[in-house]
Structure 1
Amino acid sequence: MPDNQFGQPVGNNLLNWQPRQPPQNMVLQGRTCRIEPLNVPKHLNDLYEAYSQAPDGRDWTYMFAGPFTNKETFADYLTSAAASLDPKHYAIVELASEQALGTFSLMRIDVHHGVIEVGNVAFSPRLKQTTMATEAHFLLMQYVFEQLHYRRYEWKCDSLNAPSRRAALRLGFTFEGIFRQAIVYKGRTRDTAWFSVIDKEWSAMKTAFNSWLSPHNFDAQGHQIKPLEEIRKSQ
């Protein structure tokens, strides 16, 4: 780290730094899925059907909204989400069926400092723990670092949400700590677990993602040959 004129250590200078652009209404195409802006007329029926396949409402326990007991209340939620600019919501569409199977968003968008968070991750049973799920996160992360050129990509969740914490670590996020009593939601207190990826880590992470997503990493039944974590550690 450099020192300033007073002999104090300071952060490295960012030459020609400019505020970044907010997320746009882009379409991101992968091998198994497509990311596109959330659209109520286009996605409502698919998403309601996909989420309705869950046996109960546990997937919404750690979300700020839901579970939804009827299509009308879900449509209200989706309409509000689609109109929002921060969070900016996207649908995840399975290419094989052309059906929307989940949503997530880019949120807490800080264009001045180049910081953004992925959140509101609502994956249906058909999407969770699939190649599509990993590819969707990869496509969004790639968009943030390579097209928007943000410096920091965050993941936050209830500290009690073990599946979300495992997912963040599997995808390559670094755990940064717990913010105690950070949020009140659904009448409950929440300690928030913080994770991040920064821009200088992206190149190696992208290589690992591409290796994992390669058709050569899956057997005839579609099962992975090498886990993403193993590929990342072997680099």
Structure 2
Amino acid sequence: MTDLMDIAAVARLTGLTSRALRFYEGRGLVAPLRTASGRRLFGRDELARLHRIITLKRAGFSLSQIERLLNDRPVDLAPLLRAQIAVLDEQAQGLAQARAHLATALSRIDRGEPLDAATLCSLIRTGDIDMDQEKWKNVTDRYMSAQAEADFADAQGALPADFDQAAYGAQWADLTARIDDALPLDPASVQAGAFYDEWQALLAPFMAVATPAMTQGVTQLYDNIGEWQAEHTPPFSADVWAFIRAVGQVRQAG
């Protein structure tokens, strides 16, 4: 191994994506050297730091907590460790639920009941959905006020009867993927403005029923996306959210 490696080599060695490495750099967690052309070079110290980050993330620590630990700032570890144990307990409960679904399927087979692939997949998906919803609630509870959560519950009934949630989600996935592919992009550019207008158009059904508490909660949730993206896969990357926020600031300033 050479003393200095570029970002592609570090990504292969650590299993992290290049985007994650750039994100960690932006958060100040790592500080690779830069060549005159702007190329990132990681030394042994930065590699060791990355391995510590990976280890702490696997233990369930947030990036803010990891930053404090790595920078030797005072941290009250006792409540922090209790919180991480609670997270692991929840994950263990989710695994137990998944096991229970599979055990149910096996018991049906043992009783001689027919169990085709569609039924088996349905059982597994039911368990996955339950686990996924629980994970998402654990995340939103940190950033949403009780009022915001109550408003969201009320808003579900205010959506049009023919509102197609699946199609709506597919539109968001398509838009955010196109933005991600286009980045980096000047927030003041014509293309950035077009993306922003499309974002606002898709946001219209939400804004039609959103209360101030809901808007504040969602904004806080995605402003802190780096804190929870390891626990639950976000609908878009932190880069996409930062880009949309930047374009919004350009619009407000203009």
TM-score (normalised: structure 1): 0.27
Kindly name which structure, 1 or 2, has the bigger radius of gyration based on alpha carbons. 2
Task: Indicate the structure with greater strand content.
Answer: 1
TM-score (normalised: structure 2): 0.26
